[in-house]
Amino acid sequence: MRGHWRQRPGESEIREKGEFPLARAALQSDTRPSLRRQIMYINFWYAAERSEKLTADKPIRVRMLSHEFVLFRDSKGKAHCLSDTCIHRGAALSGGKVMGDCVQCPYHGWQYNGSGRCVSIPSLGPEGRKKVPPRGQVDGYPTEERYGLIFVFLGDLPEEERPPIMPIPEWGKDGWRANTMDYHWNANYERAVENGLDPAHNEFVHPTHGYSGERAEYKVNELRIDHHDHGFEFMHTFQSPPLKNWLMKRIRNYDGPLDAGSGHHGPNGLYTYIHLTPTKWFHQYVWETPVDEHYLHTFLVSMRNCMIPKNKWFLKIADDNMDKRNFAIAEQDRTVIEKLDPVCTPAERSTRELLMPADKVIWLYRERLQQWDDMGWRIDADELKRMRAKRNVVYAIPSPARRKSQAWVLDPVPLVEPRPTAQPLRAVGA
């Protein structure tokens, strides 16, 4: 199993600083009510960072759902995630240091344990630990490490009610090989998920997948759709040209039908199946983590059951070839997605777009989003932006501890009230 995570060239400086200039500029300068539907949800698992990125000696800052978080490891190596704002005077905890099982604020030395509880206030003297007020806590979030990633549950649901992390059934199994990478886009994460689900774009965006619309008989064939508890998936068959890459030709060197499909798990989990032949398969799993409504951080795990030579030198060639292919395909998508207008899907969904039967999976995804809207899990991005500009206020994503305690300094992020009725989406011919 290959566990080294790769990132797109040119991102190192941004990632080291933990800053996203374009996203921050948009957030700070534009306070007008949005004409777009800006969708971000609490109560789901989000990929926060690569496990290898978080060392034992230093906390790091990550931005998700338009909020700042601190990640750190305790003395046993377990990863923790807290709201990054110290409740004393607003310092970033991520700028501090790890002290045993706690993260220490760089401003006045307050220490918070992995659950977010303040356990030491130095200015109170040696007895300070015993004098921490009940409100001496920040939100702490459940964390799990899988597939070389740190996942954080951003929400207040109790453990028994939380949706699961999107699984990778092939992970660790004999006969499968993993390639992993991550990258950033100046795009809304929902647009990226819809792109991954879209069966009609491959013909025109990815030259290796189709014929660029040159065949007069081209059409999107019937989609075989199956629903599950956390989304849906589909498969379909289409004509595909011979693969051009010298190594990929060893797998498929003929023109003919190819089975492929995609599915989603929650609002931001996406997976794609590409069956090049009846026995040679690529399965890709993607977590689209919204930095905010304008910017996303993508984590990709690409599994394959072919191109796995026993010779280490040839295996490295195969891995590098897969990395280059995955980067190239991601770049082909990025050039389109970053220029979509509007940035987010239109608020008037059934009238501001002319959907076709091939878009059935798009409106199925949006209907599932509407269900989570109706559960009251959607962040009110417009209200959040307005209140930050008006009051210079800091909010927190609510954690499970808020169901047991009312003693908090920061208010929870504003959420959109569920709509009394939701109009179903319809595609032409659907």
Rounded mean pLDDT, 385-402: 93
**What CATH code is carried by the domain that includes residue 117?**
2.102.10.10
| pTM, full prediction | 0.88
Average pLDDT over residues 168-179: 97
Whether 67 and 96 share a structural domain: yes
Average pLDDT over residues 308-334: 93
Q: Could you tell me which residue, 206 or 63, shows the higher pLDDT?
A: 63
Higher pLDDT: 402 or 247? It is 402
Distance CA 54, CA 297 (A): 16
Q: How confident is the model at residue 390 (pLDDT cuts 50, 70, 90)?
A: confident
Based on the number of CB atoms within 10 Å of its own CB, is 337 exposed (0-12), middle (13-18) or buried (19 or more)?
buried
Whether residue 198 sits in one domain with residue 65: no
Q: Are residues 201 and 339 in the same domain?
A: yes
Last residue of a domain, one of 332, 365, 398: 365
Q: How many domains does the chain have?
A: 2
Same domain, 304 and 393: no
**Within-domain flag for 307:** yes
Is residue 62 included in any domain, yes or no? yes
25 vs 186, residue with greater confidence: 186
Are the CB atoms for 302 and 291 separated by under 8 Å? no
Strands 5-7 and 177-185: parallel
Q: Residue 19: pLDDT above 70?
A: no
Q: Based on the domain organization, do 317 and 229 belong to the same domain? A: yes
Asked if residues 116 and 138 have their Cβ atoms less than 8 Å apart, the reply is yes
Whether 272 has a pLDDT exceeding 90, the answer reads yes
Q: What is the pLDDT of residue 39?
A: 87
User: Within this chain, do residues 214 and 68 fall inside the same structural domain, yes or no?
Assistant: no
Domain check: are 247 and 320 in the same one? Answer: yes
CATH number for position 313: 3.90.380.10
- Examine residue 43 and state whether it is found in any structural domain, yes or no: no
Residue 142 three-state SS: coil
Residue 372 lies in a domain: no
Closest CA to 415 of 160, 47, 38, 159: 38
Alpha carbon 325 to its chain's center: 21
352 and 386 fall within a common domain? no
Residue 1: inside a domain, yes or no? no
pLDDT band at residue 332 under the 50/70/90 scheme: very high
- 191 lies in the same domain as 314: yes
For residue range 411-429, list pLDDT tens digits in order.
999 999 987 764 544 544 4
On whether residue 104 sits in a domain, the answer given is: yes
Q: Is residue 36 part of a domain?
A: no
> Quick one: pLDDT at residue 418?
86
* pLDDT of 124: 92
- State whether 139 and 221 are in the same domain: no
| C-beta of residue 341 within 8 angstroms of C-beta of residue 353 | no
Q: Residue 394: what pLDDT?
A: 95
Number of helices (H), then strands (E), in the chain: 7, 21
Would you state the pLDDT for residue 47? 99
pLDDT exceeds 90 at position 403: yes
Residue 29 has pLDDT above 70, yes or no: no
Name the residue range of residue 214's domain.
177-365
Q: Does 231 share its domain with 278?
A: yes
106 lies in some domain: yes
Amino acid, res. 178: A
- Residues 265 and 338 both lie in one domain: yes
- Band the pLDDT of 221: cuts 50, 70, 90: confident
Check whether 252 has a pLDDT greater than 90: no
114-165 tens-digit pLDDT: 999 999 999 999 876 778 999 999 999 999 999 999 999 999 999 999 999 9
**Cα–Cα dist 127/124, whole Å:** 7
Q: How big is the CA angle at 276 (ends 363 and 362), to the nearest 5 degrees?
A: 5
Question: What's the rounded mean pLDDT across residues 81-87?
Answer: 99
What does the pLDDT read at residue 127?
Answer: 77
